[in-house]
């Protein structure tokens, strides 16, 4: 089973969309194996967004991620990275299709509600930034045979 990191950014928390968004992933069949509310500090934000260092929007990314609480979760399931990213929609909520998280709840490019790992390799790196191994649980869902 593949794992992916999902961050429900400060705007999702402030707008009280956390439960609604998590429900979508669960209904799709992804299994929640890690969950916590985090106030990201600058050091964590810099590590998380290291690939964007030096870009014009880098500083505003850091400011946004550290501006309030973030819900960090690890989801697990078949093709979890691709499934989660498809559910999220395009980075620009105004250009995201209805039915996606950003398409249904967002209009902004920067305040785009959610982050999801873009590859299994990056998922492993990002999960290690946000979670200690003992914070992730392993279990079998009772409906696993029905989901695939």
Mind telling me the catalytic residues? 115
At CA 18, angle to CA 40 and CA 53, rounded to 5?
A: 35
Tokens representing residue 34 in the block: 């890690």
- Give the pairing type, strands 114-116 and 2-8: antiparallel
CA 58 centroid distance within chain: 18
Tokens representing residue 46 in the block: 């810099």
DSSP string, 66-114: TSS-EEEEEEEETTHHHHHHHHH--SSGGGSPBTBHHHHH---SSS-SE
């Amino acid at each position: 089973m593949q794992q992916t990191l999902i961050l429900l950014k400060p705007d999702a928390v402030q707008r009280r969309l956390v439960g609604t968004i998590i429900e979508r992933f669960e209904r799709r069949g992804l299994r929640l194996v890690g969950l916590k509310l985090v106030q990201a500090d600058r050091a964590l934000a810099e590590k998380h967004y290291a690939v964007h260092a030096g870009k014009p929007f880098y500083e505003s990314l850091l400011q946004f991620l550290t501006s309030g609480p973030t819900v960090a979760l690890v989801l697990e399931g078949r093709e979890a990275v691709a499934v989660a990213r498809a559910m999220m929609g395009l980075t620009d909520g105004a250009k995201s299709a209805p039915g996606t998280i950003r398409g249904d709840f967002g209009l902004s490019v920067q305040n785009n509600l959610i982050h999801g790992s873009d590859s299994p390799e990056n998922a492993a790196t990002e999960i290690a930034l946000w979670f200690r191994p003992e914070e992730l649980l392993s279990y079998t869902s009772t409906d696993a045979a029905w989901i695939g």
